[in-house]
Structure 1
Amino acid sequence: MVVCGDDALAQRLAAELRDVYREQVTLVVPGTDGVGRPGRAAALASAVLTRVPRARARVPEGGAPAAVQEIRVLPETAPDDTVLAEAGLAGASALALVYENDETNIRTALAARRLNPRLRLVVRLYNRRLGEHLAQLLDQATPGVDPEELDTSTTVLSDADTAAPALAATAVAGTSKVVQADGLLLRAVEHAPPGRGVVPAPGLCTLALLSSTTGDPAGNEGAEGSGADGPRLLPDDREVAAATGRGTIALETVAHAGSPAPVRRLAAAPLTSIFSRRLWWSIGGMGAAVVALTLASTIALGDHPLHAAYMTLLDIFAINDPAVGASATRQILQILSGFAGLLLLPVLVAGLLEALGTFRAASSLGRVPRRMSGHVVLLGLGKVGTRVLAQLADLAIPVVCVERNPEARGIAVARRLRVPVIVGDITQEAVLETARVHRAQALLALTSSDTTNLEAALHARSDHPGLRVSLRLHDDDFASAVYRTLRAAHPHAVTRSRSVSHLAAPAFAGAMMGRQVLGAIPVERTVLLFSALDVAGHPQLEGRTIAEAFRPGAWRVIALDTAAPGERLPDLATTPRPRGRARDLVWDLHPGYVLRPQDRVVLAVTRRGLAELLGRQPRP
């Protein structure tokens, strides 16, 4: 695997390929910043090498990497043909281009496709429409190579798109260990050890049995295949029932437990949200005055109640004839009714003004419903915030957005989704109070400024210690320091500090492994992969039932793609599901269903199991 980049994402991606997928990696980073000084990417590469044994990590001057190396760094200034050839591109299986400059990534991708037409490309681009056209162009520019026979696919990803599911899951479930498939977010949930002979509720399925020493502070959890005391991946029901004193990890869907996001329509707006409480009290007082005058007229003058109410209303609206020559009681009642009419006039004006203000606020989406609670406060509607907003809207989670720039790219998305947006300074107390942060379930600080995110999170946490807070921080070390400090100050509250590069690296690594890899979830020192495979060509699956295709410790079928072969999403993890289209994956599978060659399934699989299914030999 070859990784080319100039920021923290390249370093994270190289570490992900080495630690999770056990791949040999060549990392190409700029050696200087353009003026002769050491570059930031080179310093990050040095950080990668410090975590690799000396015998297995060195910076060679040239030539092919040694067989024992896992990460090899080439500090070059520009990714030209010479650098790509030195990186071993001719014999590489995949190349990731994660430079911050889109033009550099496009130029290098065109050169790499020319040098190795059989190469699997993963390109980082911010312009998604340009990325779609580039992927089609590079897939077609493979002379002499049949795309049906070789996995020469080109995957164009954006770090904002790939980090959005994890950030959304952090707001809902408090964890970023999620996998996305067909627009659905899946998470691994740890359960306490069950009693003897009791099978815990597995959710979608039971993924793993934890080590027997997980709850022991002095215990040493084992690695994959470390024995009976280590974690057991993909156990069957008998193993789960027989395991006592060991916790389990189950696969569950990420969903909002509260009420769904309200659909805001002006025509269906309730009266309680149009008028304030003071105005309702004023209207109630006027109604009580009308009733009192009607009863007084009925008792004093002996009128019928309906006739008395009619005469009272005429007097209030000043359209009745003066009671000249009538009894003194009738004249007094008419004067009182006229006085009540004078009080009614300002109430009617106030009602019209409040209704007009409510409708204008609803049309501009800047008004937060008074009774809104259990929502997510999203700070920042830039590139990342916009993607997270769309993800939360798909999960039917109520959101209130705060953005300083009225021309931000996410404002139009919020209008289309009919989500309340408050335009103002995020660090101001009044802005967060207007967003009803005291009633929210989570706060997502996703602006481009680390100090702004930290200031807003500290203010919200100081006023509401139990609030779930998730920060977007660019520097990984700074994010770790903030996390440890906030956890120490508020041990009973959920705090997450995330960098986009840390969240995006797993998706880029999965794309480099091929479109069949959807993601990975760590289980102690092991890792469990999720893969989408066509049944055809795999004798371990074809013609077998769901129960027969399950191999404990290796793989397990967890979902079936019901879409027609020509209508399937090319990549279940990264391809956006068309809005309005029902999900094609079926998760509740009958054990007796027989897998056909035209089926596509989603499996939970270990590294060794995936290598066996794909016909590859895993690295030791």
Structure 2
Amino acid sequence: MLRVVTELVSSGERVTAIVNPVSRHRDRIGELGATVILAPVISESLLRKAGIDARDGTPSTARALVLLDTNDVHNVHTALTARDMDRDLRIILQMVNPRLGRQLNSLLGDCVVINGPSLAAPAFVSDALDDDELTWMELGGRMVVVGQADLIREPHLTVLADTTSSATPQLLPQAGVDPAGDIVLGTGVRTLWYSRGVRPAGWVMAVRDILDSRVRKIAALMALLIAIGTAIVHYFGHIEWWRALYLAAGVVTSAGIDDDKFQDAEPWVKVSAVVVQLTGIVLMALLTAVVVDSLIGARLSRIIGGVRGRPRNHVVVCGLGTVGARVLEILVERGVAVVGVDQSDDAPGVQVAHRLKIPVVVGDSSNEETLRLAGVQRCQALLAITDGDITNLESAMVAQELNPDARITMRMFDHDLAERVERQLGLGNSRSVSMLVAPAVAAAVGDKRRQVIVPAGRRVLLLTEVVVESGSVAEGRPLGSLNEAEGLRILARQDLNGPWDWQPAATRAVNAGDRVAVVGTRAGLARLLMVTRAQRKSAAS
């Protein structure tokens, strides 16, 4: 909510935020300029107070409703309530379950479903592969791809960001800039080759992990007792070797003893047999306890799904939540070898990893031994994307110590901490899921359309198509006047029912019904939407 409110306020929107009283960000949201309503639960009366008050053909004071609860059921319930109150209200809601989100359009009509993991995961993948993301989309009537210039097949359509000139990327630089290393827009990619996949440990490794050093020591002591007992029974009981081995093993393992063979034995032999049998009982109890402890301490799903052998040039993903699960899927789609790490074997990404046959190490990702099991010392990249900033920072520091050449990317919410870590510690890149998702939410408030987010460092660009509405400020103005230096660039134009033109004349007037393909910053796109939207008598938010 904090990121979304920041985006909306910076775009000139008036915002009313319904905030839980226990939220640690409630004061900060108010400082941004939003009207804050404190309430633990959203009700119909609360929505009316916030501006959803349509009645008798009069539209609501509020233009859109944004639902950001992490509980899908709460979001759907609130959305259905708001739809009953205003049939024309634009609704934007965050959904963790993408399948449920795809079914909401039929229920809610004019709504936009935002899936945070799907939006944020490609940015982490791009960092891991050092290709700054290859993103495909249909734009301006053709399939285009965004990525690093050395990965995109020439000719390039345009340069989106200069990431080589300084620490802060320059967005939408002027034409003529050397594209080497920059983020560009093109129509195809060069051939990419990645390392061989990493296989899960399997049953052989599972049995080896269960039979640890404690089990081997106990088994060795039992074998020694059986050997001594076999020799005693053979020489002093005058019994053949195989029969003696059977009797000795029966005594040590508490399986029983054939008293008929010992009834005429010397007393000390009988006493020795009893002592050995008591010792065997203790050893069998210890052996059972150790095996059970191994199974409980390292669950079967953990030891079977571990890493086999010594993987190299793979990607280690620490944190297998909803974002981590999507990252695993994308890496597998790209043919990249990957190993997952999570503290819980019930995490959503663990089930995804098992389905995709990806090895998983269950343990604390900030622990050196856990990262060693994942092969961090030989990996090409590490993604620390758990929910905790400190855990991700610790994981990155341990990984850098084990493998200074690995590319490291951290998930960090605290923007100030992320900048200081990047500048002073040099641990690699940092990403914020909320900063990647918030621009999409803010843009969806202004207009329902398909758009793609392109990360450039910690900044983002958005590619989308916008329709010029009748009665808007842009109508009748030259097309070139809509461009903004480092803020917005017109890529292509389509006249009403006409073909797309990817080299439109800047002097040609903009007409109502024209569709333009654009790339811009969140603020630049927001200003474009304001000038292309039909003027309304009431300035609602």
1:471 is displaced (CA, Å) by: 2.0
Paired residues, what number? 399
Distance 1:254 1:45 in 2: 42
Q: CA deviation at 1:393?
A: 1.8
Please name the residue that 1:29 is paired with.
18
1:32/1:77 contact within 8 Å kept: yes
Residue aligned with 2:366, SS: coil
Q: Percent identity?
A: 30
Aligned to 2:318, which of 379, 386, 399? 379
Residue type of the partner of 1:476? D
Following superposition, the deviation at residue 42 of structure 1 comes to: 1.4
Paired position in structure 2 for 1:84: 47
Gap runs ≥5 in structure 1: 1-9, 34-38, 50-56, 58-70, 140-151, 192-199, 222-230, 267-359, 538-547, 560-586, 593-598
Alignment-derived partner of residue 35 in structure 2: 72
2:149 is equivalent to residue 160 of structure 1: no
Cα distance, 1:461–1:14 mapped onto 2, change above 3 Å: same
**Structure 2 equivalent of residue 366 of structure 1:** 306
Q: How does 1:362-511 map to 2 (within 5 A)?
A: 364-368=304-308, 370=310, 372-473=311-412, 475-477=413-415, 480-490=416-426, 495-511=428-444
Per-residue CA deviations over 1:449-508 (Å, capped at 9, x if unaligned) read 4443332221111232332222224x425xx32541353133xx5x23333322221232
Change in 2 beyond 3 A, CA 1:536/1:11:
closer
> Does the residue aligned with 2:386 lie in a helix, a strand or coil?
coil
**Per the alignment, in what secondary structure is the counterpart of residue 407 of structure 1?**
coil
- In 1, the alpha carbon distance for the partners of 2:189 and 2:153 equals 16
Task: With the length of structure 1 as denominator, give the TM-score of the two structures.
Answer: 0.52
Question: Against the structure 1 CA distance between its residues 471 and 511, is the aligned structure 2 distance closer, same or farther, given a 3 Å change threshold?
Answer: same
Mapped partners of 1:128, 1:418: distance in 2: 22
User: Which one-letter code corresponds to 1:29 in the other structure?
Assistant: I
Per-residue CA distance 1:505-549 (angstroms, 9 max, x = gap):
123223333342514558999985411468999xxxxxxxxxx99
Distance 1:448 1:424 in 2: 15
2:27 aligned with 1:14: no
Unaligned runs of 5+ in 2: 53-59, 202-299, 471-478, 495-499, 505-513
Measured against aligned partners, the alpha-carbon deviations of 1:90-139 in whole angstroms (never above 9, x if no partner) come to: 13332111123334322321221122211121112333333333432122
Q: Distance in 2 between matches of 1:94 and 1:248?
A: 36
Task: Name the counterpart of 1:306.
Answer: none
Further displaced range: 409-418 or 255-264: 255-264
Residue 135 of structure 1: aligned partner: 105
The separation in 1 between residues aligned to 2:344 and 2:144, in whole angstroms, is 30
Give the residue type in structure 2 aligned to 1:382. G
Residues 204/446 of structure 1: CA separation in 2 closer, same or farther (3 Å cut): same
Amino acid at match of 2:391: T
Q: Is 1:556 aligned to residue 482 of structure 2?
A: no
Q: Choose which of 151, 156, 161 in structure 2 pairs with 1:204.
A: 156
Query: Which residue number in structure 2 is paired with residue 40 of structure 1?
Result: 24
Matched position secondary structure for 1:91: coil
CA contact (8 A) 1:165 1:180 kept: no
Contact 2:315 2:382 in 1 (8 A): yes
Cα distance, 1:373 vs. partner? 3.0
Aligned-CA RMSD value = 5.2
List per-residue Cα deviations over 1:4-45 (Å, max 9, x = no partner): xxxxxx1101112233xx241313233623xxxxx4241231
* Equivalent residues of 1:16, 1:509 under 8 A apart: yes
Does the Cα contact within 8 Å between 1:204 and 1:251 map onto a contact in 2? yes
Question: How many angstroms apart in 1 are the aligned matches of 2:378 and 2:456?
Answer: 34
Please tell me the residue identity of whatever aligns with 2:49: E
Partner residue of 2:74 out of 104, 110, 114: 104
Work out the CA distance in 1 between the residues paired with 2:457 and 2:315.
Answer: 30
* Correspondence list, 1:215-230, <5 A: none
- State the AA in 1 paired with 2:29: A
**C-alpha distance 526-376 of structure 1, shift in aligned 2 (>3 A):** closer
